[in-house]
Amino acid sequence: MLFNSLFFILVFLPLCVAGYYLLMRAGKAWAQIFLILMSLWFYGYFRPSYLPIIISSILVNYLIISLIIKDGRKTVAAACLFAAGLIFNIGLIGYYKYSGFLVWNIDHFFDAGIPIPQIVLPLGISFFTFQQLSSLIDAWKGRLKRIDLREYALYVTFFPQLVAGPIVRHDELIPQFEDGTKDRPDAQAFLQGLMWFALGLAKKVLIADRFGEIVTAGFGDISVLTAADTWIVMLAYTMQIYFDFSGYSDMACGLASLFGFKLPQNFDSPYRALSLRDFWKRWHMTLTRFLTQYIYIPLGGNRKGMARTCINMMIVFLVSGIWHGANYTFILWGLLHGAVVVFDRLFEKQEAKIPAAVRWAGSFFVINILWLLFRADGIRDWVVLVRRLFSFGAGIGISDAVAGALGEPWQAACLYVSALALCLLAPNNYKRKWSFHPAVVTAVAALFAICLISLNRVSVFLYFNF
């Protein structure tokens, strides 16, 4: 089920919220069971075959974590359980996400004639697997002292963050579930949640999807793109992926607020970053936190000298690239990000002397170039596109396909300028001081109505693919 669908907004969400608060009066256990069932309905709406995967994942992880907690010491038995949990989770995501890629490589390099398995990638498997890995590791480290099946199942399945994050830690959400005092909605938090959801929906429907039309037109046939086309399409994808993923995260936080819960921040105006290091402190913050806490620090972090620090950084970004998808474009994307971050780390004192505007322009350009790789179907296509950016002999005009997607020149100019201004100047919704003045509420309600009218064609969120 999609947040940006009329069925979700007009049917599922009202039923879910009303049912939850009605059952909270009978006891939080009944309300939590109801919310788990609704979340499973949300998850399996398009493909019920996903349900056995997530349910088995929850049960296996719960059993292993509870046995580790019960052991209470780092015994051989607990170590074996921990290893089994790691193998299970990594094996699950590896099978569904990377087995086809691995078989393709074996067949390609050895001409083995092996049929490529057509495995359907379950929605959000990277997100709910990483979330459960964090609980497993915390249980092994002694940071998770108790576990309840009902609360753990809700922690994993809670529909606002289930399929595209943010990646939530158990100590952020489960204590909120344990609070049984929220048996009725808080008026201010509820209204804030509605407004937050509406603003996120506007990011997706009115901005990201509009840029998506330009990106789709450009990538339809990259061989005909001119230099001008390539710049236009590259910038369009940079804006599309930001407003698409940021919009989802805003909607997730808004939805959680309707139930009286708070999700962690996932974005902090990343396109304001003055370096790639700064960018990764602002973009997909919960993934960066996970990789830092569970990979970078255990590898030694920055405690073992500069050379080891740089190697650890490269490993983290390699994992980030692999996490995003089974394609060499994602692997190279992660490695190139890692290389630039390492460069920033090595020359941070020298970079600090460069004017902020120059540092921002350079960083934003690199981000754009690497987003182009992220979107390209293959590395060769990316190389062609990068060359096309500077091959003005290929033509400085705009092709018919891109021109058709852009629309009127003044409309296109307003779209790009407004989107960049929002990225650089608008307040972050997570840190916004929400105003409930009637004029503000009316304006947001009007924006929400425009979004509903625009939902004639529902588009999938980009990060559903990861």
| Domain's final residue, options 184, 202, 237 | 184
| Contact yes or no for 96/116 (Cβ under 8 A) | no
Statement to judge: residues 275 and 146 lie in one domain = no
Q: Is residue 1 part of a domain?
A: no
pLDDT digits (tens, 9 = 90+) for 182-230: 778 888 999 999 999 999 999 999 999 999 999 999 999 998 899 999 9
d(CA 151, CA 176): 10
Whether residue 80 is found in the same domain as residue 168:
yes
Q: Is 337 a catalytic residue?
A: no
Same domain, 134 and 84: yes
Residues 435 and 328 in one domain: yes
- Give the model's pLDDT for residue 193: 95
Q: Is residue 356 one of the residues assigned to a domain?
A: yes
- 228 domain residue, yes or no: yes
* Residues 242, 179 share a domain: no
Q: What is the pTM of this model?
A: 0.93
Residues 168 and 213 reside in one and the same domain: no
Expressed as residue numbers, the domain containing 331 is 188-465
Quick check: is 50 in a domain?
A: yes
What pLDDT score was predicted for residue 393? 66
How many domains are there within the chain? 2
Distances (CA, A) of 376 to 51, 70, 84, 240, 420: 31, 48, 36, 14, 22
Residue 291: its H or E element: helix 285-291
Taking alpha carbons only, the member of 354, 286, 346, 343 closest to residue 320 is 286
* Low-confidence spans in the chain with pLDDT less than 50: none
Q: How far apart are CA 56 and CA 50, in angstroms?
A: 10
Same domain, yes or no: 402 and 418? yes
* Any domain includes 447: yes
In terms of domains, do 28 and 173 share one?
A: yes
pLDDT score at 336: 97
Please give the distance of CA 99 from its chain centroid, rounded to a whole number.
22
- Catalytic, out of 284, 324, 337, 437: 324
Place of tokens 């998850």: 43
Same domain, 166 and 213: no
Same domain flag for 22 and 50: yes
Residues 434 and 411 occupy one common structural domain = yes
- Which of 184, 208, 239 is the endpoint of a domain? 184
Write the CB contacts of 114 (distance below 8 Å, at least 6 apart in sequence).
Answer: 103, 106, 107
Same domain, 243 and 278: yes
Tokens 């609070």 belong to residue:
179
Instruction: Classify residue 248: in a domain, yes or no.
Output: yes
Does 258 fall in a domain?
yes
What's the per-residue H, E or C state across 187-240? HHHHHHHHHHHHHHHHHHHHHHHHHHHHHHHHHCCHHHCCHHHHHHHHHHHHHH
Domain end: 150, 184, 218, which one? 184
372 within some domain: yes
